[in-house]
Chains A and B, each alone.
Chain A
Amino acid sequence: MSVLDVRDVSVSYGSLSIIESISFSVEEYEWVMIVGPNGSGKSTTIHAITRGAPYTGTVCFEGRDISTYTSTDLAKQIGVLMQDHMVGYSFTVEEVVRLGRYAYSKGLFSAFSDEDEEKVRYALELTGMYAARDQSVLTLSGGELQRTFLAQLFAQDPKLLVLDEPTNHLDLVYQKQIFELIRDWIMRTGRCVISVVHDLSLAKYYGTRVLLLHKGKVVALGSPHEVLTKEYLNDIYMMDVYGWMNVMLSQWKD
Chain B
Amino acid sequence: MKHKKEGFGAPAYLFFILVTGITCVLCVCIGSVTIPIADTLLVIWNTIWNLPIPEGIAHSIIVSVRIPRAICVALVGASLALCGAAMQGLLRNPLADGSTLGVSSGAALGACIAITFGITIPWLPRGGAMFMAILFAFISLILVLSLAYNIDFSLSTNTIILIGVIFTMFMNSIIALVITFAGEKIRHIMFWTLGSLSGTNYTDAMLLTVSLVICGAILLSHARELNAFAIGEQNARHVGVNVGRIKIIIMVCVSILIGVSVSIGGTIAFVGLVIPHMTRMIVGPNHKRLLVTSLFFGAVFLMLADLVSRILLSPLELPIGVVTSFVGSIVFVYIFTKARRVQ
Contacts and interface: CB of A to CB of B under 8 A. Distances in A.
Interface string A89-123: 11110111011101101001111100001100100
Query: Which DSSP category, helix, strand, loop or mixed, fits chain B's interface?
Result: loop
Contact of A91 (B227, B241, B242, B243): B227
A71 B240 contact: yes
A243 B6 CA distance: 56
A52 B237 contact: yes
B228 interface: yes
B240 A88 contact: no
A99 B1 contact: no
A82 interface: yes
A45 interface: no
A149 B236 CA distance: 12
Interface in A75-89: 75-76, 79-80, 82, 85-89
Residue picked from B6, B231, B238, B342, most chain A C-beta under 10 Å:
B238
B221 A91 contact: no
Interface stretch (B27-35, B52-60, B278-286): B278-286
Contact of A99 (B93, B227, B243): B227
Contacts of B232: 85-88
A88 B231 contact: yes
Residue picked from A71, A82, A91, A156, most chain B C-beta under 10 Å:
A71
B238 A89 contact: no
Contact of A156 (B1, B234, B239): B239
Contacts, number: 91
A214 to B, nearest CB: 27
A87 B224 contact: no
A94 B224 CA distance: 14
A79 B240 CA distance: 9
Nearest to B91: A88
Given A50-B238, A75-B239, A86-B154, A102 B285 contact: no
Interface residues of B, number: 29
Interface residues of A, number: 42
A110 B92 contact: no
A70 B92 CA distance: 24
B239 A102 contact: yes
B64 interface: no
B97 to A, nearest CB: 15
A96 B231 contact: yes
Contacts of B46: none
Contacts of B4: 94, 112, 117
Given A88-B94, A91-B230, 13 more contacts: A71-B243, A74-B240, A75-B240, A76-B240, A87-B230, A89-B280, A91-B284, A95-B286, A99-B235, A102-B224, A103-B240, A118-B1, A152-B235
Interface of B: 1, 3-4, 6, 92-94, 154, 221, 224, 227-228, 230-232, 234-235, 237-243, 280, 284-286, 342
20 contacts: A52-B237, A71-B241, A75-B238, A75-B240, A86-B92, A86-B154, A87-B230, A88-B93, A89-B92, A89-B230, A89-B280, A99-B235, A102-B224, A103-B239, A105-B224, A108-B221, A110-B224, A111-B3, A118-B1, A138-B342
